[in-house]
Structure formats: structure tokens, C-alpha cells
A and B are shown apart, each in its own frame.
Chain A
């Protein structure tokens, strides 16, 4: 079945550091890929998405590129801020009428 694997956490960075969070997936067909973010005390919210190979999703300075050849969707940001401290989830959808499959999530802490 479909699965999502995220790098182990937690991750602690200093403000303005470069961020990469790895995500790889296993799926049949051509899934859509997503990053969700959960700020402290809140529910998850969609950060960005990509629906086909080579698409780049972007939002709030974050980017991720759908790489079919490496089955990856790594999240990057050039300069993190304290306000980016949150839990980040990679997810995939196998297509119409399929449910989202989430990775385990990774906690990011950004120090001033």
C-alpha cells in the first residue's frame, strides 16, 4: 500500500539557517504530494502541494519539488524564522476518492 517516510527528528536550527526536511514515498500510479504544518496547539493546515512529477509547490518561503525518479518531495526553506517552529507532515493521495496517507511528522524548533 501507499506509504510516506520522513526523516527522523526533532530538528533544531538557528534563525536564518537553511532547512531541508526529507520525505520519500511509495505508491502505485501517480500520487499527489503535500506538506502540512501543525503550529503549537493547533490543527494541521496545508502548507503546499504538487500534483504531478516535476511540479514545485511553494508557500511562505517553503518549497518542495515532486521528484518521480527518486520518489521524493523534500521540503526546503532558505532562511527559517522562529515562527516556523512547528511539526511538519508529508502526505500523499493516491488519486480520486483515495484518502491521505501521512508520514509520522517531524518537529522543527528554531532558536533566536
Chain B
């Protein structure tokens, strides 16, 4: 039961470096999401993909780009990392785009530190 798999789990970057967080789900879900979790801020939506071939900005998209590579995979790229992007990143998926079911399935998170 893999569910949602994120890599890497931990990463340390220097300011200005780039990196890509990978996410894959094996539940044949249509929608995928990237959140960041910061102390006292809860979860904030960065980008989402309602279905294969579409992506949209969430609440805090600045400094990030995404790619919905296929139905299974949704990657998050930091082109030029900044200390403000130090956070725990979660990928999630759902059968439909939010809606009344509301059940998102989350990965275990990726802890990113930018020095």
C-alpha cells in the first residue's frame, strides 16, 4: 500500500540553489496538490492539479513551479531557493478536486532547509 510517495524526505540547500520535489500516487486519483506546513500557519496550498494536463496556483505560489508529468506524478520545483522556503512540504492526492468528499491522501512530507 504505497499511497502517496514523496522524495526526498530531507534536503538542505544553500540560498540560490534549485531542486525538485517528486511526488507519485498509485491510487489512480485525478487531483494532486502541494502544500507547505509552517509553525503557526497550518497548511497552505502552493499549487494543485485538478486533472492530468492542468495546474493552478494556490495560496502561496511565488517562488515555485510545478509539473503534472502524468496522472501519477506531480513535481514541485524551486528555481532559486530562499530561506523563507524552509518548510515541510506535503504532496496530496484525491479522487476528485476537493468537493464534498474532501478526502485528501497525504505523503509523509519532505523537510527542506534553505541556508
Contact = CB atoms under 8 A, between A and B. Distances in A.
Interface of A: 32, 34, 36, 41-46, 49, 51, 89, 91, 93, 95-100, 102-105
Given A42-B108, A46-B103, 19 more contacts: A32-B100, A32-B102, A43-B90, A43-B106, A43-B107, A45-B106, A46-B102, A46-B104, A49-B102, A91-B102, A93-B99, A93-B100, A93-B102, A97-B50, A99-B97, A100-B102, A102-B43, A104-B40, A105-B43
Interface of B: 4, 33, 40-43, 45, 48, 50, 58, 90, 92, 97-109
A96 B99 contact: yes
B49 to A, nearest CB: 12
Given A46-B103, A89-B43, A105-B42, A100 B108 contact: no
A104 B106 CA distance: 17
Nearest to A33: B102
A103 B106 CA distance: 16
B102 to A, nearest CB: 5
Classify the interface of chain B: helix, strand, loop or mixed. Answer: loop
Contacts of A95: 99-100
Contact of B106 (A44, A49, A93, A105): A44
A108 to B, nearest CB: 15
Nearest to B38: A104
Nearest to B58: A99
A29 to B, nearest CB: 11
Q: Which 3 A-B pairs have the closest CB atoms?
A: A43-B106, A104-B42, A102-B43
